[in-house]
Structure 1
């Protein structure tokens, strides 16, 4: 081919590379070792044929024969600086050389016209993933996932995927978990082998125990170095076995579309983690196989309970004088049917902390959160109830559901029914289907108590009590009630909250009154510190993908301990223009742990924190930041932050004792 037919691509200027040196440059996507030696210039393929070591990161060294050679920095293989030939090599061996031209001090390398892209194994798998409805990937591109990353890049170009590059893989995991909790559909998280993959594990446990669908895609070392202990080679299938429902390596002989289809189906149907391991050398194998799709592989999700169970539950409800409904996280899909049933039987509705907001506190039958993070209203009605109906609740020790004689438990997971103790009427089926089937046969007991006036009275008592607690403020900082009272009044009726763990979370559960169709995301069973802000990233991504969530405001909440886990991903929010308002309660310590040490009669030890000004940090990251030290300034600061079209952080100096 004549040089006129080549594409001449600039790779720098002559002053960029001194005599006797080599350098890696890129022309289009071709990696080139640029050479300046003995007054001459040369350009050769940058990849050493041994293990693709980068020759441009090596050096020109004199060999035992007094001849100078480019030495590969990985394993010491040598090549002639100007011809690319190895020592003693034959004429047909050595590095590929590229034409080079210097024009007015600018260096150009000639490449043949770029050939059409060769479809690969990972192209097939990414196409399959998007066919199954995966729309978002959180991740970090690295040396052992570059082939897969390029397939994802093509998906982004084709507008089938959105990609968010994070600063820590733990953020990718929590973001994907929160996305799954909010939508019921999986997002993917991408990492390299070794430490990148292991950094996912905490967030994957969060997804597993809270029943959130997630697709984990991890790079791996080349298959030729599996096993003997190569760099970053760990047994990822074993590492993810306990935390995933499905974990499989992608091999050259795999049915690649089917493997991705099974991963997606496991994540969606089991509401769990599915994990695929991509060896580096398998990612770019050519493939003309068709992509997979969910057509004909997914059935409807509505499971109607057995008629006998419905009959038993209706009989018990029709006899109740003081029925009460407890709603857990597993009932999110049946919000409207639960409210309709509650109104028909006149039952107060309380929620577990994980389900806060499902039935808003503003509803006449709303009774707030039950349990350690809850309201005295919920506890009072729990004590008075003669029949409890539990929807999608697990009866964990933190929830505080009383072991009443008459309990109706409805769940789509049969293992949850009577899991810790027998219940009067266990009902297996989809919660909305049960509510629809039962509602038409309800004939409330004529002697039933009208509980709405009691609910209004109890709310009035609790609201008076909350206001009185403001008098406890002193020089130690702002009372948590003042923060969450203001926040609850200012945020939209359809806001999405992502909360961390610690005293800030207990105060949020206790003091913030929900309204409208608000949603709350948290690290429920795992209770992992650091969850709040990454979950806000996941929630915001979901608002970009799901029509029903578009335009909804995302508010993340943490203490200074929680935000300190992954602070640099505030720059991720800035990079992608994520509209997240973060409320940071700064008390200078791990306040919940200090409290536990005191209550257990331990000395308070090593819970104090050395912090920067987080508001100033937010500004340095390119976000809105404001510090609040006085109660009277809270409303204005939150209003300003909510009005920002992008990431905003409000740092509020609080008293660790006033929760």
Structure 2
């Protein structure tokens, strides 16, 4: 049943009609009344951020952990341009988001904050939808949600400010979407792929982010083939309990896993675009048969050209491959019979040694792995320190891991940690960040986490430098001083913003910090003071 109401009320109601209960945002001229209506008329929750880009990142992590479409809102002009890095990160990460963005009035082309917002959005890889008229609000919002789901990327819904106080009829419009695209593979290409698999003596199954839902089918196929299993970073934790799990495939592999991958002769890749870091720039795929299965045609052949490419559903195709192997009575490869279960995921231990006034980073990570809450959600910022975190800090499943790795940016982690926390408020969130990343994007939102009372443990790897750049100067025997910074005490900053924290300069202080985790109340920061000359090299 339709009824007449203001456009700002219609937008808020349409968003709520799509099951949205939480909206992240920063208010301005073109969205403030819509936000107010979402809270007061629709009973939604509004999470106010300190920076516009943070709203997009929070919504992205919320979507990843909750499995829902994330929703954020900002106003026009500079508010949108402040979201550029976040939009690129989330578009490349294929996050299903709807971003409600205000626009300057059409009758004022010389408005100070006027900009061609369609062009701005298009350059990031996000999608763009225009709120066409006051009468089409329900349809336009439904279209934005539909596109976010099927395109798996942020969709910016452009909302002219001069619409907001116009009246129009509103009737609910929700476009239901069946979200299981793709079928099983068939035809000659499938036959060729099965032939390669059947003749392989050392096959290996690799699962990416696009194959997480097919875990059980992939495990059945791996066991049928007697093949080890591995994941990309995006699907970290998918095969935790499998006896022949290699963990992360590629430059982040353990030495034993890397050697085993090199020995394989056929890699069956499900739901991964085979990024350079996954393939070690093609080195790990050399002289092997590569079979790539993905529902996304764009993912096929992007990193390297497979021997067989199947645009198809991962789970259905795994089942079909196993069916034909059974029909042809193809014996198992016997590859895993050569391996000792549970021996392929151990990284080199840390020494625990460091210069006076510093703590050894690898040793600290090993202790944190044991001491951090087991039901944690893990979020990582970008930068030099994160590769060791990805290798040494475990997660229970891929949905419990959020890595801001899609654009090579730093300073995005705390915002995503907040979104993850609000999606799963009964679970603690652990964020790892470098000092430069925290200064860039963490400090301005730490107080937001305090205000929201989030159960957030922030671990800062502080070498008082931009470490990736520092090591390049050192390697070339050049003066690295331009990369070094005398940051303030992050513990003092955390306390001044309403949180708590502990500085760690020794193994004894590390143990004290680990004990303090048990009694934390609200956001808690651990500052690891690190020697910039003694930090593990990046593995990517």
TM over 0.5: same fold?
yes
Q: Name which structure has the greater RCO, CA cutoff 8 Å, separation 6+.
A: 2
Cα displacement string for residues 565-606 of structure 1 (whole angstroms, at most 9, x for unaligned residues): 121211111111111211111111111221233346664252
Residue in structure 2 matched with residue 168 of structure 1 by the alignment: 51
User: How far apart in 1 are the matches of 2:467 and 2:526?
Assistant: 19
Cα 1:353–1:404, aligned 2, differ >3 Å: closer, same or farther? farther
Instruction: Determine if contact 1:314/1:438 at 8 Å carries over to the other structure.
Output: yes
Q: Are positions 1:658 and 2:539 aligned together?
A: no
Q: Are positions 1:135 and 2:35 aligned together?
A: no
Residue in structure 2 matched with residue 76 of structure 1 by the alignment: none
1:154 corresponds, among 35, 40, 44, to 40
Residue in structure 1 matched with residue 371 of structure 2 by the alignment: 490
Cα displacement string for residues 277-332 of structure 1 (whole angstroms, at most 9, x for unaligned residues): 2222211212232121124xx22414222223544434433332211122222222
Q: Are positions 1:622 and 2:498 aligned together?
A: yes
Q: Are positions 1:319 and 2:194 aligned together?
A: no
User: How far apart in 2 are the matches of 1:331 and 1:589?
Assistant: 38
Q: Which has the higher helix share?
A: 2
Q: Deviation at 1:543?
A: 1.4
Instruction: Determine if contact 2:225/2:333 at 8 Å carries over to the other structure.
Output: no
The higher radius of gyration belongs to: 1
Residue in structure 1 matched with residue 83 of structure 2 by the alignment: 200
User: How far apart in 2 are the matches of 1:168 and 1:175?
Assistant: 11
Residue in structure 1 matched with residue 288 of structure 2 by the alignment: 405
User: How far apart in 1 are the matches of 2:508 and 2:293?
Assistant: 46
Residue in structure 1 matched with residue 463 of structure 2 by the alignment: 587
User: How far apart in 2 are the matches of 1:259 and 1:457?
Assistant: 53
Q: Deviation at 1:271?
A: 0.4
2:254 corresponds, among 375, 389, 393, to 375
Cα 1:516–1:260, aligned 2, differ >3 Å: closer, same or farther? closer
Residue in structure 1 matched with residue 401 of structure 2 by the alignment: 520
Unaligned stretches of 5+ residues in structure 2:
none
User: How far apart in 2 are the matches of 1:646 and 1:339?
Assistant: 39
Cα 1:371–1:639, aligned 2, differ >3 Å: closer, same or farther? farther
User: How far apart in 1 are the matches of 2:102 and 2:385?
Assistant: 37
Residue in structure 2 matched with residue 564 of structure 1 by the alignment: 439
User: What does 1:533-548 correspond to in 2, within 5 Å?
Assistant: 533-544=414-425
The alignment partner of 1:421 has SS state of coil
Residue in structure 2 matched with residue 33 of structure 1 by the alignment: none
Cα displacement string for residues 617-641 of structure 1 (whole angstroms, at most 9, x for unaligned residues): 2122222212122224434423532
Instruction: Determine if contact 1:184/1:212 at 8 Å carries over to the other structure.
Output: no
Residue in structure 1 matched with residue 239 of structure 2 by the alignment: 359
Q: Deviation at 1:451?
A: 4.9
User: How far apart in 1 are the matches of 2:477 and 2:221?
Assistant: 46
Instruction: Determine if contact 2:252/2:387 at 8 Å carries over to the other structure.
Output: yes
Aligned CA-pair RMSD: 2.5
Residue in structure 1 matched with residue 273 of structure 2 by the alignment: 394
Instruction: Determine if contact 1:347/1:451 at 8 Å carries over to the other structure.
Output: no
Query: Higher mean Cα deviation, 329-338 or 381-390?
Result: 329-338
User: How far apart in 1 are the matches of 2:352 and 2:498?
Assistant: 37
Query: Higher mean Cα deviation, 233-242 or 309-318?
Result: 309-318
Cα 1:446–1:208, aligned 2, differ >3 Å: closer, same or farther? closer
Q: Are positions 1:257 and 2:143 aligned together?
A: no
Residue in structure 2 matched with residue 59 of structure 1 by the alignment: none
User: How far apart in 1 are the matches of 2:474 and 2:362?
Assistant: 22
User: How far apart in 2 are the matches of 1:279 and 1:195?
Assistant: 15
Residue in structure 1 matched with residue 180 of structure 2 by the alignment: 301
Cα 1:417–1:600, aligned 2, differ >3 Å: closer, same or farther? farther
Q: Deviation at 1:392?
A: 1.6
Cα 1:392–1:636, aligned 2, differ >3 Å: closer, same or farther? farther
The alignment partner of 2:335 has SS state of coil
Scaled by the length of structure 2, what TM-score is found? Answer: 0.89
Instruction: Determine if contact 1:187/1:215 at 8 Å carries over to the other structure.
Output: yes
Residue in structure 1 matched with residue 171 of structure 2 by the alignment: 290
2:103 corresponds, among 206, 220, 223, to 220
Cα 1:609–1:333, aligned 2, differ >3 Å: closer, same or farther? farther
The alignment partner of 2:162 has SS state of coil
